[in-house]
Amino acid sequence: MFGVELNEAELMSNERVIKSKINYFSFGIILLSGLTLTIIGVYNLLITEGSTFVVVLWSFLLFVGLVALYLIWTFDILVVYHDKLIRKSIFGWTRGQIDKTEIKSYSEIEKENSKHHEFGHKKWTDLTLFLKSGTYKITSEKYRNYQQIRNMVTSGVGRDRLAEKEWKRKNNLRWGIGLLILGGIFLWCSQLEFWTDTDSFEAYLIFGFILSLILYGLFRIFKNKKAP
């Protein structure tokens, strides 16, 4: 599929080889979302003559769409041997190779996008390989045979528990900074639209929502700004 095939040498080899199996549902969702949001964002930016808030909204949708398309472009097909991992593009060309000797340690973190009872709840696992130079991430969301890949790649490699704790701290810190920035953008946009009428009930509701974003963002920043 997608033009990625094992070459003759790989097929003739007696050693065990695992080829990644794409999670087509997730792949399709990202591709469809990227195309849809990009088209909607571009179209509405071309025709919009409205408020600054509306322009920011369509620009944000366009940005999200382009990020999704970038994720498709950089999607890796993996071919795993006992001593190396080969990365290929969805079009078949080889992007790179990670030798087992390059892997110093790994971390594995289970993530979820919402609480169990909430609509659209989804869980996945991110495996991060810490290399002699840089890192490489493999996620269960992308591959149906993630567990096979994970077991073969991490065989004989130590797990870094401290890195997992540090990731959680930094992730909370990033969320706090993101909420603070988002609140600041909304505050700037909303003052152009609503502050002309100080008696507007709608203005107070919007201000309350923006203030809650900023305060919660500050809370997460101060709570996680230093390593324990």
**Residue 53 domain-assigned (yes or no):** no
At residue 47, the pLDDT reads: 84
Contact between 65 and 38 under an 8 Å Cβ cutoff? The reply is yes
CB atoms within 10 A of CB 114: 11
Residue, of 40 and 6, whose pLDDT is higher: 40
Q: 3-state DSSP helix/strand/coil percent for the chain, to nearest 5?
A: 55, 20, 30
Instruction: Supply the range of the domain harboring residue 179.
Output: 163-224
**Residue 156 domain-assigned (yes or no):** no
Kindly list the distances between the CA atom of residue 173 and the CA atoms of 157, 176, 210, 215, 225, in Å, as whole numbers in the listed order: 29, 5, 19, 13, 6
Residue, of 223 and 45, whose pLDDT is higher: 45
Q: Give the SS3 label for residue 13.
A: coil
Contact between 163 and 107 under an 8 Å Cβ cutoff? The reply is yes
Residue 31 tokens, joined: 């591709």
What is the tally of structural domains in the chain? Answer: 1
CB atoms within 10 A of CB 176: 20
Q: What is the pLDDT of residues 151-189, one digit of tens each?
A: 999 999 999 988 888 888 887 788 788 888 888 877 776
**Residue 143 domain-assigned (yes or no):** no
Residue 116 tokens, joined: 């169990």
% of the chain residues with pLDDT over 70:
79
Ramachandran category for residue 62: left, alpha or beta (phi over 0 → left; psi -120 to 50 → alpha)? alpha
Shortest CA distance to 159 belongs to which of 103, 218, 215, 120? 103
**Residue 136 domain-assigned (yes or no):** no
| Cα–Cα distance measured from residue 73 to residue 186, given in angstroms and rounded to the nearest whole number | 31
Helices within 48-115 (DSSP H only): 52-73
**Residue 52 domain-assigned (yes or no):** no
Confidence of residue 201 (pLDDT cuts 50, 70, 90): low
Q: What is the pLDDT of residues 123-147, one digit of tens each?
A: 889 999 999 999 999 999 999 999 9
Q: What is the pLDDT of residues 15-45, one digit of tens each?
A: 689 999 999 999 999 999 999 999 999 998 8
**Residue 75 domain-assigned (yes or no):** no
**Residue 102 domain-assigned (yes or no):** no
Contact between 53 and 192 under an 8 Å Cβ cutoff? The reply is yes
Does the predicted TM-score (pTM) go above 0.75?
A: no
Rg (CA), the chain: 22
Residue 41 tokens, joined: 């964002």
**Residue 211 domain-assigned (yes or no):** yes
